[in-house]
Structure 1
Amino acid sequence: MASGIFKVCMIVVTAIVNHPLLFPRNNATLPTTDEALIQKLREYEENHKTQQEQLEKLLSDQETPQEALAFWDIWSAMSMFLLLLIEVLRQDFMNRNSQDPGKEEDTFLSGNMLKGVSIPEKTILAAFYDQCIKVTTHEAARTREFVEGFVDDLLEALRSLCNRDADMEVEDSVCVGSTYENWRVNKPLECDLIVPFAPPEPFQFECRPWVIDQSITPHKQGYGTIRVCRPDDKEAGCVCGKTKLGEDLLCLVHSQNIKKNDNEDMNLLCSKNSNYLAKDQVMMWFQTSLTKAWSKISHKYEFDLNFRNLNIPGALRVKFRSGKVISFNITPVVQYEDSDLYLVSHFPSAPEPQDNIYWDISFAVYEKRFLKEVAKHLPDNSCHLSCLQIMTFLYSKQCSISGQTGLTTYHLKTVLLHLLLVRPSSEWDRSHLDSRLKDMLRSLEKCLLEKKLNHFMVGNPDLPESVKLPEVFRLAEPFNLFRPFVLNRDLYQNTLATFYEMLKNVNVLVNEYTLHTSLE
């Protein structure tokens, strides 16, 4: 009797130890196809049948039916208990493995991607960076100075052509993006500027980001709508629509009679049959306005100006007589309240948006501010931007071979931002270039495997107060930048394959471009 119970227990323990959900092997991976998953289930089912046959044999060897029945009762009770235990432990295992990246160093930096992949040592990486990627400070400063001065002149000409009582009011440009954060890789440098605009009085823009608008569905996280409030709209807040004024009394807001033409002009910038600002209409208005502004000042300059991409509002190219070309982007945006958040009509590097009334929300000003604040506490020869530039360079070269994927430079930048909150400042010295690059690669791989990369700004409790992000976004639920990978399996597999292909080619890419540059 005792020996039988011992054998039963040994079989049960063996089943638990070999359960894939409780004790996964170190080299185990999730099945990548339905066929692989079915095969795993078949193997598990066959193993279960074998264990059941062993139990039945043990029961048949007992001395009496009563002992067999007792064994069967024990087995049934233990089975029910173990099934409950397995489910509880499985849920705990899944919860522990789905922690947000950036919360704990061990969780965020876990990954086994570097096994079998050789990363160049720091001296080789440093030489590669200096020869192939690094942009001279003088060159970058000259490009930025020219672009900013020319854009100011262009916008001033645009304002002079506008009717202040009927046309949009264009404000001064704001410099954002990788060129102004000093990690731009593509040559020649390309500057990104955003231009806030507002409607003529008494119209108003009402911006509603997804964090305060419950009608915006989860797959539209990171977006917002812009409602045009007309003078006769009660929600605009004018008291003249709520009270009766005498014939001799005038509303200060509506003291001038508003023509129907003005109202119709505002409708032209809205989506059809709605009062929501439409991105394609804004793009047409902005391109037309820039064209008129250039016609007014073109005689002052000895170069040509043209649009290099008509699907982007202000993707412009300056071509000098010498043949030199400078490209830059001017993007119309709407400011969110009194913050440094902007609702952007189009991102230059993003695909054409499908929904015309949903605007991307840009945190570019806050991200630039964060990088500036962090740099104050990093070593003078910090390698954080060098790591981002090397990753961006290598991945862009791999994409030129394998084709475009769902991974963008903004994703790479987000990985770095998270990592800057995890690693101590002293570990970002240039002497740690290879180690920090490996950290970034591990972090990116982990996020890709989990299909989860949280936005750095939204819902991040570790974000420094000095960034001054609006409270509604600081306290909001984090949203996943890798959600498209969850919804699109083909996009995900293509992205993951390209990422691993890049890892295999790191040494080849580094050596090839370093050698090519040294021979020039």
Structure 2
Amino acid sequence: MTVYTLNLRVFWPLVFCILLATLCFHQILHRGHDSGPDGCDTRSHALLSLVKLILAFGFGYLLIKRCSSSPRTGRREERKLQESLAGPPAAHPNAARKELLDTYYEKQVRLSPHVLGHSKAHVAKLVSELVRAGRADIPPESSLAFRGDYIQIGSAYEEHKVGSPDCFDLLVPLRLPRGLKLEPRCHLTGDCGPGGLAGCSLEAPRKSDWVRHHRAFVDGFFGELGGSEFYRLRPPQVLRWFYSNVQRCLSAIRYPFEQRCYITLSLAEDRVLLHLNPRSDYVCCHISMGVRLIPALHLGDGAYLVAQPKSGVPGSLHEMLWNVYFPKHEQKFLGWVKGRMPASSCHLKCLQLLKAMRELSGQMMDVKGATQWRTVLSSYAIKMAWMQLLLCTPPEAWEECHLVERVEDLLRTLRDGLHKRQIGHIFMRGDAGPLPDFHCLPKFLKEVPPTNLIAGFDPADLDLVSARLAYSWVHLHRLIRLGRPQRDSAARAMRCKHLDST
């Protein structure tokens, strides 16, 4: 992971000196050409040259002064932070770092509840109409269908989104054909590839009556492995059906929504994406949003299998695996945590800051290093480590005044997991501690070995990520100063007409 860092305090003064030398050289040549027969310049030409040099020196002074100060926290804040890092911990507590984190959080990380609420309302209205158009009250005899509802998942709905509310994830449950019974079977984590959740297949016996009477559906949606007694439902076929069905439903409801925004639908890398581009500020600040629709099959007890396969050889077991999601468990867990926390809790802020730090550090890497960095430190892996820390830490320790200590604890939890080559899933027999009473897994998942979210990664890559985490925390003030903003400041400054009318 090669890191490229540009020292702006040296770069811009150097550029100014080069330009100044060029100007002086040009002036000397100009004087040589414009001088009179006696070799003397006119008074007006000398005055013009003096004005040029004064302007050049003035511009250089402003440029150097600008580059010598931090655009994010200012010169005073950066000096404080550097002194606190250089001095002994007892003499310099975490006040400077806390001030830096608070400033960065308010300016670049925290979402406006008003803007987020508008975005969520617009997405909810569109997707509600979409799934209602494809709903089947009675399961069809030989086809899939929408169940008629959707489940909100991801950071935008769990209150830890970073930057801008421009991306939303929604599970769309499907109905299986009437009479079809599929048996889930879980496979070892190693079969799922690096960073994968437990992979499951959905199987139907070859000799069942339903399979014999519905050959068209079996040929279109099922696959088989040589010598197996079961057909397996294939996620790629379900994704293709889902995409075409969403297209059909979108055509039926498109007109009233396109009066407010442009709507496009795409299928890329096994992802069905709705793109919403507002025509006016019905959505605040003209935010262009992406809505990821994920087809899912209900397993029971709040668990879902999602059609989100990784790349695999067609016809192999790898291609027929589904991922297990626990949206209801995660929502209940976060609600339970929120009820235990003090009013001024920083637990969500801690998670947001760590995700923002990951993005800042990734901006300083080359493309290959940044891809590996974000793959190992996926948002889901960070969230699972954060949930483990929530179970192991008393609620009073999450007061706002302990923000720096809790961020350091989360960093330590992640680094320990990387060194041990194990970041567990707390709902898949994780060892984080006792879970609340409402946690209940489907029976077949209780027999699955513990899931490792970083299984299959190269140990050398894990060590590099761990070292980069420590470096990012120590040099956070530099990353903030050099990094690109998490969101557009111009969009943030725009007023919404709905606020003005209230």
Could you say whether these structures have the same fold, taking a TM-score greater than 0.5 normalized by the shorter chain as the test? Answer: yes
119-128 vs 294-303, which deviates more? 119-128
1:195 aligned to 2:195? no
Query: Where does residue 304 of structure 1 map in the other structure?
Result: 262
1:414 aligned to 2:384? yes
- Counterpart mapping for 1:103-502 below 5 A: 121-159=97-135, 164-171=140-147, 172-210=149-187, 216=188, 218-220=190-192, 222-228=198-204, 233=208, 262-271=214-223, 275-302=231-258, 303-322=261-280, 324-336=287-299, 338-346=300-308, 352=311, 355-402=318-365, 403-405=370-372, 406-460=376-430, 462-470=434-442, 473=445, 476-485=448-457, 488-489=458-459, 491-502=461-472
- Tell me, yes or no, if the aligned pair for 2:100 and 2:477 is still in contact at 8 Å: no
C-alpha separation between the residues in 1 aligned to 2:174 and 2:290? 22
Task: Give 3-state SS (helix, strand or coil) of 2:158's partner.
Answer: coil
How far is 1:436 from its partner?
Answer: 0.4
C-alpha separation between the residues in 1 aligned to 2:486 and 2:236? 43
- Tell me, yes or no, if the aligned pair for 1:279 and 1:359 is still in contact at 8 Å: yes
Cα offsets for 1:252-297 (capped at 9, x unmatched): xxxxxx996x421232112256621111111111111111111122
Distance 1:457 1:353, change over 3 A: farther
How far is 1:434 from its partner?
Answer: 0.7
How far is 1:146 from its partner?
Answer: 1.5
Distance 1:206 1:484, change over 3 A: same
Distance 1:473 1:272, change over 3 A: closer
- Structure 2 residue runs of 5 or longer lacking an equivalent are 1-84, 281-285, 491-502
Cα offsets for 1:487-512 (capped at 9, x unmatched): x2454355345434423431212345
Letter in 2 for 1:480: N
Letter in 2 for 1:390: L
Distance 1:518 1:180, change over 3 A: closer
- Tell me, yes or no, if the aligned pair for 1:421 and 1:462 is still in contact at 8 Å: yes
Cα offsets for 1:66-125 (capped at 9, x unmatched): xxxxxxxxxxxxxxxxxxxxxxxxxxxxxxxxxxxxxxxxxxxxxxxx999997522221
- Tell me, yes or no, if the aligned pair for 1:198 and 1:204 is still in contact at 8 Å: no
Letter in 2 for 1:312: D
152-161 vs 169-178, which deviates more? 152-161
Distance 1:475 1:385, change over 3 A: farther
Distance 1:150 1:465, change over 3 A: same
Task: Give 3-state SS (helix, strand or coil) of 2:438's partner.
Answer: helix
Letter in 1 for 2:167: E
Letter in 1 for 2:263: L
Distance 1:186 1:208, change over 3 A: farther
Cα offsets for 1:418-450 (capped at 9, x unmatched): 111111100101111111001111111111112
- Pairwise CA RMSD: 3.3
C-alpha separation between the residues in 1 aligned to 2:486 and 2:159? 24
C-alpha separation between the residues in 2 aligned to 1:208 and 1:294? 34
C-alpha separation between the residues in 1 aligned to 2:414 and 2:88? 15
How far is 1:185 from its partner?
Answer: 1.0
Cα offsets for 1:456-513 (capped at 9, x unmatched): 112245111133344664575423222223xx24543553454344234312123456
- Tell me, yes or no, if the aligned pair for 1:277 and 1:357 is still in contact at 8 Å: yes
Task: Give 3-state SS (helix, strand or coil) of 1:418's partner.
Answer: helix
Distance 1:393 1:516, change over 3 A: closer
How far is 1:148 from its partner?
Answer: 1.6
How far is 1:176 from its partner?
Answer: 1.3
C-alpha separation between the residues in 2 aligned to 1:516 and 1:478? 35
How far is 1:339 from its partner?
Answer: 1.4
Distance 1:160 1:455, change over 3 A: closer
416-425 vs 115-124, which deviates more? 115-124
C-alpha separation between the residues in 2 aligned to 1:517 and 1:169? 38
C-alpha separation between the residues in 1 aligned to 2:181 and 2:474? 54
C-alpha separation between the residues in 2 aligned to 1:117 and 1:398? 26
Query: Where does residue 50 of structure 1 map in the other structure?
Result: none
C-alpha separation between the residues in 2 aligned to 1:446 and 1:155? 43
C-alpha separation between the residues in 2 aligned to 1:341 and 1:116? 50
C-alpha separation between the residues in 2 aligned to 1:409 and 1:342? 19
Cα offsets for 1:29-76 (capped at 9, x unmatched): xxxxxxxxxxxxxxxxxxxxxxxxxxxxxxxxxxxxxxxxxxxxxxxx
Distance 1:203 1:391, change over 3 A: same
Cα offsets for 1:296-316 (capped at 9, x unmatched): 222222233223552234222
- Tell me, yes or no, if the aligned pair for 1:457 and 1:473 is still in contact at 8 Å: no
- TM-score w.r.t. structure 1 length? 0.64
Letter in 2 for 1:200: P
Query: Where does residue 503 of structure 1 map in the other structure?
Result: 473
How far is 1:332 from its partner?
Answer: 0.4
How far is 1:324 from its partner?
Answer: 4.0
Letter in 2 for 1:304: Y
How far is 1:219 from its partner?
Answer: 3.9
C-alpha separation between the residues in 2 aligned to 1:116 and 1:272? 65
Letter in 1 for 2:436: P
Distance 1:184 1:309, change over 3 A: farther
Cα offsets for 1:380-403 (capped at 9, x unmatched): 121111111001011022223321
472-481 vs 177-186, which deviates more? 472-481
C-alpha separation between the residues in 2 aligned to 1:116 and 1:224? 53
117-126 vs 457-466, which deviates more? 117-126
How far is 1:334 from its partner?
Answer: 1.2
| Overall identity of the aligned pairs, in % | 22
Letter in 2 for 1:265: F
Letter in 2 for 1:289: N
C-alpha separation between the residues in 2 aligned to 1:363 and 1:378? 22
Query: If you compute each CA radius of gyration, which structure gives the higher value, 1 or 2?
Result: 1
- Tell me, yes or no, if the aligned pair for 1:342 and 1:363 is still in contact at 8 Å: yes
Distance 1:275 1:167, change over 3 A: same
Letter in 2 for 1:226: L
